[in-house]
Amino acid sequence: MLNTKTGKIPLSVVVITKNEEANIEKCLGSALGWADELLVVDDESTDKTVELSKKLSARVLHRKMDNEGIHRNWSYSQAKNEWVLSLDADEYVTEELKRAITEAIKKDDFQAYTIPLKNYIGSYFVRYSGWYPAGKTRLFMKSKFRYEEVEVHPKVFLDGKTGFLEGDIVHKGYPDFEHFLGSLNRQTTLEARKWINTGRQMSLGRAVWRTLDRFPRSFFGKRGFKDGFIGFMIAFFASLYQIMSYAKYWQMKRENNQTK
């Protein structure tokens, strides 16, 4: 229900940050004056992230990132409202989505909602390649929702039903291919570590098959060719992700065996 005194909805927007001074104002500004709470959970930023967040009336908590699933679950548990909207610092909310969220919270038909992410590489909006409108569960009742406590790509566990909202979260996560490659490098390290920590067995044959499979699946199956050269690069990186993860997994496993 709308707070008649403040004009805000009973929603906590939770943003996890680390050195995000270039993005945080756009992110928080998109929810300022609309959501009842702006909560920033900061991982030891050394830039002006915390200062800028406080200027926009955000409540700032400090916690070092140890494991993505654990970190996110802890962060959401600190929200003062039952309804939580999870944003990354390089994302912001559109006006259409604000209206959809406001109505969804009033109806209370579902316990969580998936929201389309409008992803950009530089100034290019990626329309195909499986990137849009692939919804992600970002709006949820915190008492009904939790993440698998792993380092990368945690699964969602929900006690209830999931709906779908119109309107977008705009994601400006990749200013250029250099940042895209940097993300790929970090994510594959975490993926390999996840396989090690969960005892998953990955063979070279399976890794090669997944490497060969991902390019045509993205470029043709998900119509990445309609995104032109960027679609080609997305498909190539999807393929590269598989073999890079395996290479790091192989090395980690070998080093672990040598230390025993």
Kindly report, residue by residue over 46-88, the tens digit of the pLDDT. 999 999 999 999 999 999 998 899 999 999 999 999 999 999 9
The mean predicted confidence, pLDDT, of the chain is: 94
Confidence of residue 4 (pLDDT cuts 50, 70, 90): very low
Angle value at C-alpha 214, between 133 and 127, nearest 5 degrees = 25
148 and 38, same structural domain?
Answer: yes
**CA of 173: how far to CAs of 87, 115, 118, 169, in Å?**
12, 17, 10, 12
Q: In sequence order, what are the beta bridge partners of 61?
A: 41
Q: In sequence order, what are the beta bridge partners of 35?
A: 9
pLDDT above 70: percentage of residues in the chain: 97
Read off the pTM.
0.91
Greatest extent of the chain over all pairs of C-alpha atoms, in Å: 64
Angle value at C-alpha 228, between 152 and 122, nearest 5 degrees = 55
255 and 241, same structural domain?
Answer: yes
Position 2 in a domain: no
Alpha-carbon distance of 213 to 155, in angstroms, equals 23
**Does residue 245 contact residue 222 with C-beta atoms inside 8 Å?**
no
200 and 129, same structural domain?
Answer: no
Residue 225's domain comprises: 177-259
Kindly report, residue by residue over 94-146, the tens digit of the pLDDT. 999 999 999 999 987 899 999 999 999 999 999 999 999 989 999 999 999 99
Q: In sequence order, what are the beta bridge partners of 156?
A: 147
Closest to 65 in 3D by CA, of 87, 91, 95, 43: 43
| CATH number of 40's domain | 3.90.550.10
Among residues 119, 145, 174, the one where a domain terminates is 174
Among residues 174, 206, 229, the one where a domain terminates is 174
Q: Which residues of 192-221 are buried (b: 16+ CB within 10 A; e: fewer)?
A: bbbbeeeeeebeeeebeebbeebbebbbee
Confidence of residue 150 (pLDDT cuts 50, 70, 90): confident
Among residues 119, 149, 174, the one where a domain terminates is 174
